[in-house]
Chains A and B, each alone.
Chain A
Amino acid sequence: MRRYLLSLLLCCLPLTAGASSLTLLSSYPQTMLSHFIEAFEAEHPDIRIDLLWRRPQDALQWLDENNGAGTDVVWLPSWRAFQQLKQQDFLQPLSLHHDVLPASLGDFPLHDSDNAFIASEMAGYGLFFVPDDLERLNLKAPERWQELTDFAWYQHIAMPVPSQVGYAPMLIDQLLQAEGWQAGWSQWLAIAANSRLIGRGSDFVTDQVLQQRASIGLTLDFFAESTIASGGNGQFVYPKQTAFNPAPIGILKRAGNVEAAELFVQFVISHPGQTLLLHPDIRKKPVNPQVYAGRSLANPFALELQTAYNIDQGLHRREFNSALFDAAITDNHQLLTTVWQAIHALPASQHPPLRQQLLNWPVNEPDNNDANLQACQQRHDNNEAEQQCQAFQQHWQQRFQAHYQQLLDHIQSR
């Protein structure tokens, strides 16, 4: 009973106030934010982090409605979001010590040119597989995306749909930029014809591979490497040409607690903060090269990969590409795979012309002024643009459908 009374008494004891609060707007998953918030608060027990969680597009709208007020730090894995925030003049120049961070990874800048934001981590595209499964199937782990166009991979690939899976648009575009528009899309058509498509509500790509629904999956490094670090029996490789997507962090001009905001950003890019990225639940790539030293980690700064990528171009045509992908692939996938299978059921000597016919990409590369590109880019913002983008998608969906059907009829009539 004495203890019970003590409990009642302690209930009434005031605790010392005086802690300051820092409002963090982020769209990272719980597993990542928990580690960073706990570690930061342990290092700065006088600062409490209030987390505002919103997906990037929703975060932008929220900031827009609040005229950039109501939060201190923005931390979103979306370069596009930060470009918009900078354009709206919501960000304040960072006055941090970030000398240890390189200015770029390959051609890709890791700092904004005006220091409005800075990369905090990055993620790269690659392939996840179980080596024993590939060996059993007599398939060799690819070194290039193009190897996945071989019919030997038929029904063995898990491929995310860009209109439904947030990380997939850049995956698609990096190959288009590296190979050229026509050749890149032809390769995606062939890879998609070999693939199971992963959309909203599907298993993760890594699950597809581990549960042997697919033998190889197109994914980001951290999905694969956190799965492996958590006990999944797989391997991840970067193809020789790929892209890395840096995730920025920045401080708002109207931040109420600039001092705490700077401490947080400094913590994220510090050696201890960057080391947290290696936790089995996270496995993102540090932007501080020193963190890789002495660790058996794939280091994007040291890998001999081609990672050239024009982010501005990619962002401009992100929705346009996704609409085209749905028109050519998602909405016609069964027919596409049927034609693909029919071609490869024929003697090998007949494959090349038919493959060429199937994989011929009929849509021209748009420039930034293209009306349909602009409509698709704005499809989530206004109804008229949405309708125009939908009409564009539907037009090409019917064209691709007719093309596939015509080719199938031609093969079957032989």
Chain B
Amino acid sequence: MIRLFILLLALIPAGGFADTDISSDERSRRALALPMPAMPDALISQFNDGRSLFNQMWVIAPSTTPDIDGLGPLFNSLSCLECHPGNGRGRAPDSPGEPMRSMLVRLSVTDDEGNVWPHPVYGEQLQERAIPGVPAEGQARVHYESVSVTLADGVEIELRRPTISLSHPGYGEFGDVLVSGRIGPPLIGMGLIDAISDDTILQWVDYQSSLPEGIVGRPHWLQAAADQPPRIGRFGVKAGIATLERQIAQAFHEDLGITSAAFPRENCTAGQTACLAAPSGGDPELTEQQLAAVNLYLSLLAIPEPAVETEQIRFGRQQFAAAACIHCHRPAMTTAKDAVPALLANRQVDLYSDLLLHDMGPDLADHRPEADASGSEWRTAPLWGLGLAEQVADRVGYLHDGRARTVLEAILWHGGAAQASRDAVIEMSTAEREALLAFLQSL
């Protein structure tokens, strides 16, 4: 057991060592918005175009600015930045009276056989906003119930258990609908995650299979088209998307109502007639060139280097291993040798995720399956840049629906495959727990 512990510790990169081609030691408000230092000059213009499109407030068509019009007809936000402030994470409202500003709600319905489908009228996502003349789909509000957890040293932590309500239906009653909240996730190392091969992800399944704890994640295999081989999903909180390009196109479509080659039709269902009749901003609204620019921008954002390691952080790193967090929060992977652009190829990336699905227990479950992921399965969240979350934005949330206001709260929501790790954290001494949190904040 001691040998295993030493092996695990060795897997965690010590702070202060970083690949300076692709990372930045900046830990300020702009830390997640800087280009990789070794970005080739030839890509600067395209990177800037991507940044501009990412920050752009999109315009309702028609307009005199056809390159940026096509917002809606139904949408959640006017810009990518609205849900990813500072390229970091969004947050959940703190009360039912507060609207969702960097959060949205996914929808599904279940048929008599238990199969899950998008809502026949409202689709897969509630769009709370619409262009003039088109009814918005409705309003979502978050209600909280307090739950207390007492730690071994007597500290009491109050968690908030969210429930989402829908109101003001724009197209008839919602009916029995499955809902799941999503805050905007941080946009760190998206291109590097894209550049990790399926084989590299699968190696960790073999490793987990050898563990006595019985924690084995599973890849979320996705079949994009019948004539294409399946690929492991790695984007989204249920790893429901396999490539960064698809992730960007889907976000433009669902969140902003912007069509692209992958999503050529406006985001309206058959019953949403005003939506279907609304003017379009182009065919498609997001050109291939624009999509490629946003893809490049997100791919070449510098990843944050961990803070300089102190004694406490080193001790916290040991606690991270001792609590078996690293079984799922895999410290590092190496990207494929043939990744494009070449700057992303064959890089060791310390993302602290296995990109696998794990059953996280009933407390975190949203009971809403997504593709092959069940209602209680979630992709292990990457932890890189975790300590910058509150640097780059004023207020942030953790976990898929932003219910956790702090990293400790997020840990205490872990269950299922992570139950033992959560319990280990509860049993830690004050010094051990503070060191663990200092380590996480150093990432």
Contacts from A to B (Cβ < 8 Å): 3-4, 6-8, 10-15, 17, 27, 29-31, 33-34, 38, 41-42, 45, 48, 50-55, 57-58, 61-62, 70, 201-203, 227, 229-232, 280-281
Contact B64 A8 (CB under 8 A): no
Binds A, one of B9-17, B55-63, B218-226: B55-63
Q: Report B-chain residues with C-beta under 8 Å of the C-beta of A57.
A: 64
Known pairs A17-B168, A45-B97; A58 contacts B65 (CB<8 A): yes
Question: Counting CB contacts under 8 A, is B228 at the interface?
Answer: no
* Alpha-carbon distance A54/B66, docked complex (angstroms): 11
Chain B residues positioned under 8 Å from A15 (CB to CB): 96, 139, 141, 165, 167-168
B174→A12 contact, CB < 8 A: yes
List 18 contacting pairs A-B, 8 Å CB cutoff, sorted by A.
Answer: A4-B367, A11-B164, A11-B174, A13-B167, A17-B168, A29-B57, A30-B57, A41-B99, A42-B98, A51-B78, A53-B57, A53-B59, A55-B59, A201-B52, A202-B48, A203-B44, A231-B29, A232-B28
Q: Contacts A29-B57, A58-B64, A230-B28 given: A34-B82 contact, CB under 8 Å? A: yes
CB of B356, distance to nearest CB on chain A (Å): 25
Q: Which residue of A lies closest to B393 (CB)?
A: A281
Give the residue of A52, A202, A231 whose beta carbon is less than 8 angstroms from that of B60.
A52
Closest residue on chain A to residue B71 by CB atoms: A53
CB-based contact A29/B55 at 8 Å: yes
Q: Most chain-B Cβ atoms within 10 A of its Cβ — which of A11, A29, A41, A61?
A: A11
Tell me what chain B mostly uses at the interface: helix, strand, loop, or mixed: loop
B148 touches A (CB below 8 Å): no
Question: Which one of B52, B81, B163 contacts A7 once the chains associate, using CB atoms below 8 Å?
Answer: B163
User: Known: A45-B97, A62-B63, A202-B48. Contact between A8 and B28, CB under 8 A?
Assistant: no
**Is B26's beta carbon under 8 Å from chain A?**
yes
Determine if A61 and B29 form an interchain contact, defined as CB atoms under 8 angstroms apart: no
Chain A residue numbers with a CB within 8 Å of B88 are none
Q: Does B146 reach chain A (CB closer than 8 Å)?
A: no
Per-residue contact bits, chain B 31-49, to A (CB 8 Å; 1 contact, 0 not): 1000000000000110011
> Which residue of B27, B99, B143 is within 8 Å of A10 (Cβ)?
B143
> Given A30-B81, A51-B78, is A11 in contact with B55 using a C-beta cutoff of 8 Å?
no
State A401–B323 Cα separation when bound (angstroms). 71
Closest to A229 in B: B29
A11 touches B97 (CB 8 A): no
Task: Tell me the bound Cα distance from A155 to B138 in angstroms.
Answer: 56
Shortest 6 CB-CB distances between A and B: which pairs? A231-B28, A15-B167, A230-B29, A53-B57, A10-B165, A230-B30
We find that the number of chain B residues with CB closer than 8 angstroms to chain A is 48
Q: If A12-B174, A38-B101 touch, does A70 touch B30 (CB 8 Å cutoff)?
A: no
Interface status of B111 (Cβ within 8 A of chain A): no
Interface status of B438 (Cβ within 8 A of chain A): no
Kindly list chain A residues whose C-beta atoms are within 8 Å of the C-beta of B179: 7, 11
Q: Is the CB of A201 within 8 A of B49?
A: yes
A53-B59, A230-B29, A231-B26 known; A48-B166 Cβ under 8 A: no
Known: A3-B161, A27-B57, A203-B44. 20 other contacts (CB 8 A): A7-B179, A8-B176, A8-B177, A11-B164, A12-B174, A15-B141, A29-B57, A30-B57, A30-B81, A33-B57, A34-B82, A41-B99, A52-B60, A54-B63, A58-B64, A62-B63, A202-B48, A231-B26, A231-B29, A231-B30
Cβ 8 A contact of A11, one of B81, B98, B101, B165: B165
Report the bound CA distance from A116 to B34 in whole Å. Answer: 42
Q: Does B132 count as interface, using CB distance less than 8 angstroms? A: yes
Closest-by-CB residue of B relative to A211 is: B35
The residue on B at minimum CB distance from A201 is B45
- B residues less than 8 Å from A203 (CB atoms): 44, 48
**Binary contact track B52-92/A, C-beta < 8 Å → 1, others 0:** 10010111100111000001000000110110010000000
A213, chain B: closest CB distance, angstroms:
9
Give the distance to chain B from A172, nearest Cβ to Cβ, in Å.
Answer: 23
- A14 near B29 (CB under 8 angstroms)? no
Q: Which of B31, B44, B57, B166 contacts A231 (CB 8 A)?
A: B31
Chain A residues with Cβ below 8 Å from B52 are 201
Contact B59 A54 (CB under 8 A): yes
Q: Name the B residues within 8 Å of A50 (CB-CB).
A: 129
- Residues of A near B79 (CB, < 8 A) are 30
Q: How far is the CA of A400 from the CA of B78 in the complex (A)?
A: 44
In Å, the complex CA distance between A70 and B131 comes to: 12
C-alpha spacing A242/B222, complex, angstroms? 59
Question: Contacts A8-B176, A10-B143, A31-B81 given: A58-B29 contact, CB under 8 Å?
Answer: no
Residues of chain B within 8 A (CB-CB) of A202 are: 45, 48
Are A227 and B30 within 8 A (Cβ)?
yes
Residue among A30, A42, A57 having the largest count of chain B Cβ atoms under 10 Å: A30
Please encode chain B, from 132 to 148, with 1 for each CB lying within 8 Å of some chain A CB and 0 for all others. Answer: 10000001010100000
- Given known A-B contacts A30-B81, A38-B101, A70 and B31 have beta carbons under 8 A apart: no
Contact check, A7 vs B63: say whether CB atoms are below 8 A apart.
no
Cα distance A52–B60 when bound, in Å?
Answer: 8
> Are A48 and B163 CB-contacts (below 8 A) given A29-B55, A29-B57, A58-B63?
no
A54 to chain B: which residues have CB within 8 Å? Answer: 59, 63, 65
> For residue A54, which residue of chain B has the nearest CB?
B59
State whether A48 and B99 are in contact (beta carbons under 8 Å apart), knowing that A14-B167, A55-B65, A57-B64 are contacts in the complex.
yes
Residues on A with beta carbons closer than 8 Å to the beta carbon of B82:
30, 34
How far is the CB of B28 from the nearest CB of chain A, in Å?
Answer: 2
A164 to B63, CA, bound (A): 19
Give B9 Cβ to nearest chain A Cβ, in Å.
Answer: 32
Assembly CA distance A53 to B65 (angstroms)? 11
Contact, CB under 8 Å: A34 / B31 = no
**Cα distance A412–B96 in the bound complex, in angstroms:** 76
- Chain A residues, CB < 8 A from B143: 10
CA distance A280 to B28 in the complex (A): 11
A11-B166 in contact (CB<8A): yes
In whole angstroms, what is the CA distance A248 to B114 when docked?
Answer: 57
A7 touches B164 (CB 8 A): yes
Contacting residue for A30 out of B64, B78, B139, B367, CB 8 A:
B78
Which one of B30, B60, B78, B132 contacts A232 once the chains associate, using CB atoms below 8 Å? B30
A23 to chain B, nearest CB (A): 8
The residues of B that contact A14 with a CB separation of less than 8 Å are 167-168
Cβ of A30: which chain B residues have Cβ within 8 Å of it?
55, 57, 78-79, 81-82
A281 to B173, CA, bound (A): 41
A11 and B177 within 8 A (CB): yes
Contact of B132 among A11, A61, A70 (CB under 8 A): A70
CA distance A229 to B392 in the complex (A): 12
CB distance from A171 to the nearest CB of B (A): 20
Task: Determine the chain B residues whose CB is within 8 A of the CB of A229 once the complex forms.
Answer: 29
Shortest C-beta distance, B228 to chain A (Å), equals 34
Q: Given the complex, which residues of B lie within 8 Å of A7, measured CB to CB?
A: 163-164, 179, 367
A8 to B164, CA, bound (A): 9
CB pair B59–A34 under 8 Å, yes or no, is no
Please determine whether A6 and B163 come into contact, CB atoms closer than 8 angstroms: yes
CA distance A15 to B139 in the complex (A): 9
Q: For B30, what are the chain A residues with a Cβ–Cβ distance below 8 Å?
A: 227, 230-232
**Complex alpha-carbon distance, A281 and B393, angstroms:** 10
Q: Tell me the complex Cα distance, A31–B78, Å.
A: 12
Residue of A nearest to B64 (CB): A58
Closest CB-CB distance, A254 to chain B, in whole Å?
A: 14
Q: How far is the CB of B301 from chain A (nearest CB, A)?
A: 13
B169 to nearest A CB, angstroms? Answer: 9
The smallest C-beta distance from A260 to any residue of chain B, in angstroms, reads: 16
